[in-house]
Amino acid sequence: MTTKTQTKLDTSFKKEVYEGLTTFPKYLSSKYFYDKAGDKLFQDIMAMPEYYLTDCEFEILETHTEPIAEYFRGKENGFDLIELGAGDGKKTKILLKHLSENNFNFVYKPIDISQNAIDSLSEKLEEELPNVEVDPEIGEYFEVLERLKEYNSRKKVIVVLGSNIGNLLHPRAIDFLSKLKDTMQEDDMLFMGFDQKKKPETILNAYSDETGITAAFNKNILVRVNRELDANFDVESFKHWETYDPESGTAKSFLVATKQMEVTVNELDLTIQFDPWETIHTEISQKYTDKVVDWLADESGLEIETSFTDSKGYYKNYVFKRKNA
């Protein structure tokens, strides 16, 4: 049950929190996990031995640095390297270092929803790779797609690491990839990571660690709602729960109410009732096969040019080009 009075939904955060908490079943978007505390928690997750995705993509970028860079290389006037969801940029720095040391002509444009992440990344790059020209921007994927069309004076290399595409179910992933394709010209390319299907226990362990870091990361969205929207979620009365469907390749994260609760969100003039064991769906993490990635590309007007994988075959980075008409 939900009660409300008329309120002004004047930010994306307010609008999406309101929509998610007044829908059945309830949901909140994982993109709002990220603030200063959330960024740190995600860095801790990436350092966990169970979270294989980071090590696998590091291995790919370190093993195949030179051929990947050659795919990036532009003509005489260079290229714009545009990274969506740049985060702390640790993996990207492998490529940036090689590009800088080998005198590639490029500008690095990191884009992230987190102001904290962008500020931190910009400061570290100025210190560690001062020769790299950095042009950062705040925004989420769908917001920046229209602006990407403006980068058309030379080659664009769009980078999406960390299997962030996996946060979108297939129909929305096709929509996102189609919009990316619409920003691309003939010489442009998309370099994107896709986590592969594998032993279900390996996937579950990556998103449900015994130390509770992933649980704290998911619960950080409730902490943000409490702080930024003057709510009174009893955060510790929610249990983090992870599922994985090996047929669809979909891992899902939930916050589960362990008792009956009434929550007030003052900034939204909203009161929400939670039944015992009622859920808030917080995140999906889609897993892929070559066949599925090829289908997504085809549906989106893209084609796979090549791919790079780690030694275990757990993860792949694909190079996509715009499909010829």
Is residue 84 in some structural domain? yes
Q: What is the DSSP string of 76-125?
A: TTBEEEEEET-TT-TTHHHHHHHHHHTT--EEEEEEES-HHHHHHHHHHH
Q: Are 116 and 191 in a shared domain?
A: yes
Contact 88, 128 (CB under 8 A): no
At 140 the pLDDT is: 76
At 3 the pLDDT is: 52
Number of structural domains, the chain?
Answer: 2
Q: Are 146 and 171 in a shared domain?
A: yes
Is residue 57 in some structural domain? no
Q: Are 273 and 310 in a shared domain?
A: no
CA 238-241-247 angle, 5° bins: 155
Is residue 123 in some structural domain? yes
At 5 the pLDDT is: 46
Digitized pLDDT (tens) for each residue of the chain, 325 residues in all: 555 445 678 898 999 999 999 999 999 999 899 888 998 999 899 889 999 999 999 999 999 999 999 999 987 789 999 999 888 888 999 999 999 999 999 999 999 888 888 999 999 999 999 999 999 988 876 677 777 777 778 999 999 999 999 999 999 999 999 999 999 999 999 999 999 999 999 999 999 988 999 999 999 999 999 999 999 999 999 999 999 999 999 999 999 999 999 999 999 999 999 999 999 999 999 999 999 999 999 999 999 999 999 999 999 999 999 998 6
Is residue 55 in some structural domain? no
Is residue 250 in some structural domain? yes
Q: Are 179 and 151 in a shared domain?
A: yes
User: Residue 203 and residue 197: Cα distance in Å, rounded?
Assistant: 8
Q: Are 184 and 312 in a shared domain?
A: yes
Neighbours of 41 (CB within 10 A): 21
Q: Are 72 and 210 in a shared domain?
A: no
Say which CATH number the domain at 77 has. 3.40.50.150
Q: Are 183 and 111 in a shared domain?
A: yes
Range of the domain at 267: 2-48+201-286
pTM above 0.85, yes or no: yes
User: Residue 3 and residue 271: Cα distance in Å, rounded?
Assistant: 5
Q: Are 136 and 262 in a shared domain?
A: no
Q: Are 292 and 282 in a shared domain?
A: no
Is residue 53 in some structural domain? no
Neighbours of 131 (CB within 10 A): 9
At 167 the pLDDT is: 92
At 168 the pLDDT is: 92
Q: Are 243 and 143 in a shared domain?
A: no
Q: Are 188 and 317 in a shared domain?
A: yes
Is residue 54 in some structural domain? no
Q: Are 44 and 75 in a shared domain?
A: no
Neighbours of 179 (CB within 10 A): 16
Q: Is 264 exposed, middle or buried (0-12, 13-18, 19+ CB in 10 A)?
A: middle
**Residue-wise burial string across 183-212, b where 16 or more C-beta atoms lie within 10 A, e elsewhere:** bbeeebbbbbbbbbbbeeeebebbbbbeee
- Which DSSP letter does residue 199 get? -
Is residue 248 in some structural domain? yes
